[in-house]
Amino acid sequence: MSAAVETNPQVEVVSRIEVDRSAEGAVTIYWASALFWLTIATIAGLISSAKLHSPDFLGNIEWLTFGRIRPVHWDTAIYGFGGTAASGTLLWLQARLCQTRIPFPALLIAGGVIFNVGILLGSIGVLMGQSTGVETLELPLYAMPLLVIPYVFIVIANFKMYFTRKTSHTYVSQWYLMAVTVWFPILVLSAEACTNLGAVDGVAQAIANWWYGHNVVGLFATPTGIAAAYYLIPKVIGKPIHSYHLSLLGFWSNAIFYNWAGTHHLTGGPLPAWTITIGVVGSLMMFIPVITIGINHHMTMLGSFHHLKTSPTLRFAVMGSMIYTLSSFQGSLESLRSHQEITHFTHYTIGHVHFGMYGFFAPLMFAMMYYAMPRLTGNEWSSARLIRIHFWCTLIGMLVYAISMCYAGIRQGMMMNDPTAPFLDIVRFTVPFLWIRTLGGLILFAGTIAFLINFWRIVQPHRLRFVTPTLMTTERDYNMLLNKEKELEQNDK
């Protein structure tokens, strides 16, 4: 019974160590792939971004034309980075919270390899011009089984852990993890059936496409991110999460409303009015879960902000949860018809997507990695400076990107709605902002490189061993902490 576990810290530590040891191979391979694909996606994003302000950059190479490198950017970001980072999180978090070992780790490791092969083949297919032409589902059909099969392993592993858990209580993160486990396969299979397999066509297919396009963020990335925040924030600061009742309200309202929001991507298009109306209501009602989750995360943090100074995990987790609140508010308002009239079809949408994905989801995945990797490998992060660089580059680069794109998008939309503005003038107006976007992307890339170096060092077997945690303190702070510890030790004696 769990009471024994909770009251006996020694035993809890042993159980943790066992869980982490069983998870080491599978989770590390998923997270290492996540970083690999994040790098690829960032490079592909930078190329696409540069091509928009300088169309002759790498011009006349058909493989790298904007219309091909751009889907490769998004697919490697959402499946390559998002899929693998979330899979690692699903496995490790579920194992930790169920206090069970990860089942069949060898199969999961094999799954990780297959998944990577799938993304690689799919991306090359898109670059060769075999894209299916359905946004977010561009990867050619032959790559899809390679992505689905590994995910089936993860689903089974998750169900197995959840139904054989050793704890009596289901923590809120687990609800989200189980929800993702159920949602994602249904999501992918029904979307593939409706689009690339041709069950429906025309406008119904467009709706299915955007139902998926929105839900792959809303029912896959977002719940994983929220689960990570729900785990990491109370874990690092050692306080219980603010309110169980709010968790419950937040989870179920999220589950009910998010599903319906996708059609706002086609506002004004050839859709029956009622489908868009439902999309708008679904998006606006997201205020309920977002506020609920916001209260829960931020109220838990209240009074513990000083931990942000030293804990890398907490910095990324709090950045993620704060931007979750902001970007969700932005997204809800964006769905309104009067707002869409201006910002639909503009760079505003691109700004919003990156604000959410790189401001909320990615930092929470980074936080997971910063927290779990030392436990999985038995090594510590080698450099606090690199962590600092990673954090500030992520925050600043993402803000530069999102603010420039959202501002440019609003102006672009207003000009487009003014029929006297020649179209080429609008294009010329956006070009400086597209340059700023490339700058933002470069800053993000610098952060990614810093993280890559750190990650590369931590997975080296027993090369660098530290027994103290890597804290983001200056040398002075560190010495002060050390002295304080010595003082306390002497007092104890």
Partner 1 sequence: MTSRKIGLTLGVFLTITASVTGLVIVPNWQFRELQPVKKADGSQYPMPLFGEQAKGREVYIDQGCIYCHSQQIRMKGYGADIRRNWGTRRSVPRDYIHEKPHQLGTMRTGPDLASIGSRQPSTVWHALHLYDPQITSPGSIMPRFQYLYTELRDGEALPPGTFEADVVKIPPQFQKNGVTRLMPTDRGKALVEYLKGLNKTFPLPEAAQ
Partner 2 sequence: MKSDQPNPEFRRAPELQDRILEMHSAAMREMSEPRDGIRPTPVTFLILCFFFTMWGGYYIGAYGGDWTGTGMNEKAGAAAPVASAPQNPMALGAEVYNACTQCHQADGKGLAGQFPPLAASEYVTGDERRFAAILLNGINGDFVVNGQKYNSQMPAWKDNYNDEEIAAVMTYVRNSFGNKAAPVSKQVVEAVRKEVGANGPWSESSLAEFAAKK
- Exposure on the CB side of residue 309, measured as CA atoms within 13 A: 8
Judged by CB under 8 A, which of 287, 329, 345, 392 binds partner 1?
345
Map residue 286 onto helix, strand or coil. Answer: coil
Regarding 156 and contact with partner 1 (CB under 8 A), the answer is no
Judged by CB under 8 A, which of 6, 13, 129, 166 binds partner 1?
129
Residues 141-170 that bind partner 2 (CB under 8 A): 166, 169
Residue with tokens 């989770």: 27
Residues 3-62 that bind partner 1 (CB under 8 A): 51-53, 55-56, 59-60, 62
Regarding 491 and contact with partner 2 (CB under 8 A), the answer is no
Q: Which partner from the list partner 2, partner 1, none does 374 bind, CB cut-off 5 to 8 Å by kind?
A: partner 2
Q: Which partner from the list partner 2, partner 1, none does 182 bind, CB cut-off 5 to 8 Å by kind?
A: partner 1
Sequence-ordered list of residues with C-beta below 8 angstroms from that of 153, at least 6 positions apart, any chain: 104, 107, 108, 111
CB count in 10 Å sphere of residue 374: 18
Please give the Cα distance from 323 to 361 (Å, whole number). Answer: 9
Residue with tokens 């059609």: 263
Inter-residue contact 242 to 295 (CB < 8 Å): yes
Regarding 65 and contact with partner 2 (CB under 8 A), the answer is no
Regarding 280 and contact with partner 2 (CB under 8 A), the answer is yes
For partner 2, what does the binding mask look like between residues 424 and 453, x meaning CB under 8 A?
Answer: x-----------------------------
Please give the Cα distance from 468 to 454 (Å, whole number). Answer: 16
**Alpha-helical segments (H) within 76-143:** 84-98, 105-127
Sequence-ordered list of residues with C-beta below 8 angstroms from that of 167, at least 6 positions apart, any chain: 2, 5, 97, 98, 99
Q: Which partner from the list partner 1, partner 2, none does 51 bind, CB cut-off 5 to 8 Å by kind?
A: partner 1
Inter-residue contact 302 to 378 (CB < 8 Å): no
Regarding 252 and contact with partner 1 (CB under 8 A), the answer is yes
Inter-residue contact 143 to 127 (CB < 8 Å): no
- Exposure on the CB side of residue 411, measured as CA atoms within 13 A: 15
Sequence-ordered list of residues with C-beta below 8 angstroms from that of 379, at least 6 positions apart, any chain: 373, 457, 458, 459, 460, 462, 463, 464, 465, 466
Regarding 94 and contact with partner 2 (CB under 8 A), the answer is no
Residues 184-203 that bind partner 1 (CB under 8 A): 186-187, 190, 194-196, 198, 200-203
Regarding 335 and contact with partner 1 (CB under 8 A), the answer is no
Written as one letter, the residue type at 485 is E
Regarding 468 and contact with partner 1 (CB under 8 A), the answer is no
Q: Count of residues for the chain?
A: 493
Among the residue ranges 112-120, 135-143, 266-274, 361-369, the one whose residues contact partner 2 (CB under 8 A): 266-274
Regarding 292 and contact with partner 2 (CB under 8 A), the answer is yes
Regarding 241 and contact with partner 2 (CB under 8 A), the answer is yes
Please give the Cα distance from 317 to 312 (Å, whole number). Answer: 9
Residues 6-25 that bind partner 2 (CB under 8 A): 6, 8-9, 11-18, 20
Choose between 295 and 436: whose C-beta lies nearer to partner 2.
295
For partner 2, what does the binding mask look like between residues 29 and 58, x meaning CB under 8 A?
Answer: ------------------------------
Q: Which partner from the list partner 2, partner 1, none does 145 bind, CB cut-off 5 to 8 Å by kind?
A: none
Residues 451-480 that bind partner 2 (CB under 8 A): 467-469
Q: Considering CB under 8 A, how many residues would be counted as binding partner 1?
A: 87
Sequence-ordered list of residues with C-beta below 8 angstroms from that of 202, at least 6 positions apart, any chain: none
Regarding 304 and contact with partner 1 (CB under 8 A), the answer is no
CB of 135 to partner 2, least distance (A): 23
Judged by CB under 8 A, which of 133, 145, 432, 469 binds partner 1?
133
Q: Which partner from the list partner 2, partner 1, none does 102 bind, CB cut-off 5 to 8 Å by kind?
A: none
CA distances from 109 to 33, 271, 338 (A): 11, 44, 48
Judged by CB under 8 A, which of 67, 133, 272, 432 binds partner 2?
272
Regarding 422 and contact with partner 2 (CB under 8 A), the answer is yes
Q: Which partner from the list partner 2, partner 1, none does 22 bind, CB cut-off 5 to 8 Å by kind?
A: none
Among the residue ranges 16-24, 128-136, 367-375, 387-395, the one whose residues contact partner 1 (CB under 8 A): 128-136
Choose between 49 and 300: whose C-beta lies nearer to partner 2.
300
Sequence-ordered list of residues with C-beta below 8 angstroms from that of 186, at least 6 positions apart, any chain: none
Sequence-ordered list of residues with C-beta below 8 angstroms from that of 13, at least 6 positions apart, any chain: none
Show the tokens assigned to 388: 């600092």
Judged by CB under 8 A, which of 74, 171, 324, 370 binds partner 2?
171
